[in-house]
Amino acid sequence: MNKPIRVMGIESSCDETSVSIVEKRDNKINVLSNIVKSQIDIHKYYGGVVPELAARAHSDIIDKLIKLAIDQSGLNLKKIDAIAATAGPGLLGGLLVGVVAGKTLAHYSNKPFIAINHLEGHALSIKLERDINFPYLLLLVSGGHTEFTIIKSFNSYKRIGTTIDDALGEAFDKTARILNLGYPGGPEIEKYAASGDKNRFKLPMPLIKEKNSHFSFAGLKSSVANIVAEHRCTEKFKRDMAASFQETVNRIIFKKTQNAVNEFRKLVKSKKDLKVVVAGGVAANKSIRQSLKELGEIEDCEFLFPSIKYCTDNGAMIALAGIERFERNKFNKLNFKPRPRWPLDKNALFMKGKRVVEG
């Protein structure tokens, strides 16, 4: 029997403060605690995350969440092997809060500090609940990121698609704001769409004909804004528009994921069954889950979705990435600086604003 490894994970890159303790014992992952405090109530008035308010709210609460996470795990600090904190990408003020808290705790308790890339947390989050072998394809769809990345093995990542403008969650949030549906927009659009006519409005699907796996969502919300300007925004209008928007997103995701699966098969000559992990807040959307499951039957691959609590931002995925790094002695010095921009694939090109046309 191997000695268990226990790591604390601290997450504060956006609008959730979270602290978790995760254990690996006999190759099994146990989430001993996962405390998440959302800042939705603070930001909803503004219809989006206000960085300064987010940083203040993280710093108001981080010490209490650390104590709560330790208490709920049934352990004491001595039994924890390392402290991991999200060090990027994300909002600098929030990252500083989590990273400084993590470093202080590590220094005070004489334990290693591990700086985690938030995207690596999302990429590995599925392992909190089930065993999965490398390589697999990741579709990450959140408020700040939209990308297809081949998870070749631990610490070996190749991004094959991304957005050239808005992230998908951002498109949901902005569209909801135009329709006055509340924040965060994703769950509101999903709720309204449930009783709307998805065929009423024809919205654009940018880059859909291109055979790559890149996205563009900015035109979609502008088109919604133009239609809204010409209509009375009744409840029925909102429901039909939410349904049409969600349907358009589904068709884009379906087609681009099909392209990404084909690209994965060309690049990775693996005999194993292809698994596609869908992570990030937007992966909570039931109609997206359903249409990807249908794609799985057509393309003969399996789509895996972490539980919703591990799709949205959480400390457990950061602690898990910390365990993987701890096992490989990948520690960081206490002078590690947070990185607001930190791509998972170091060689990936910065694509924002790029025109991506491929044969």
In the set 136, 148, 157, 172, which binds ligand KG4 (CB under 6 A)?
Answer: 172
Using the rule CB under 6 A, is 315 a contact of ligand KG4? no
Dmax (CA) for the chain in angstroms is 68
CB closer to Zn ion, 173 vs 313: 313
In the set 312, 318, 325, 342, which binds ligand KG4 (CB under 6 A)?
Answer: 312
Q: How far is the CB of 116 from ligand KG4 (least distance, A)?
A: 14
In the set 190, 240, 247, 263, which binds ligand KG4 (CB under 6 A)?
Answer: 190
CB closer to ligand KG4, 33 vs 312: 312
Burial of 88 (0-12, 13-18, 19+ CB in 10 A): buried
Q: Please give the Cα distance from 174 to 228 (Å, whole number).
A: 13
Length of the chain: 359
Which partner from the list ligand KG4, Zn ion, none does 88 bind, CB cut-off 5 to 8 Å by kind? none
Task: Provide the mask over 265-304, with x wherever binding to ligand KG4 is found by CB under 6 A and - wherever it is not.
Answer: ---------------xxx-xx-------------------
Using the rule CB under 6 A, is 120 a contact of ligand KG4? no
Q: Please give the Cα distance from 260 to 255 (Å, whole number).
A: 9
Tokens in use for 51?
Answer: 């960085």
- Given the rule CB under 5 A, which residues bind Zn ion? 142, 313
Which of 282, 320, 279 has the alpha carbon at shortest distance from 11? 320
Burial of 336 (0-12, 13-18, 19+ CB in 10 A): middle
CB closer to ligand KG4, 268 vs 348: 348
In the set 173, 240, 247, 324, which binds ligand KG4 (CB under 6 A)?
Answer: 173
Number of chain residues interacting with ligand KG4 (CB under 6 A): 19
Asked if residue 319 lies in contact with residue 81, where contact means CB atoms within 8 angstroms, the answer is no
Q: Please give the Cα distance from 58 to 68 (Å, whole number).
A: 15
Q: Please give the Cα distance from 1 to 24 (Å, whole number).
A: 12
DSSP 250-266: HHHHHHHHHHHHHHHHH
Secondary structure element (H or E) that encloses residue 288, with its range: helix 286-299
Asked if residue 40 lies in contact with residue 320, where contact means CB atoms within 8 angstroms, the answer is no
In the set 89, 98, 169, 338, which binds ligand KG4 (CB under 6 A)?
Answer: 169
Q: How far is the CB of 308 from ligand KG4 (least distance, A)?
A: 8
Using the rule CB under 6 A, is 98 a contact of ligand KG4? no
Which partner from the list Zn ion, ligand KG4, none does 312 bind, CB cut-off 5 to 8 Å by kind? ligand KG4
Interface ranges with ligand KG4 (CB under 6 A): 14, 142-144, 169, 172-173, 184-187, 190, 280-282, 284-285, 312-313
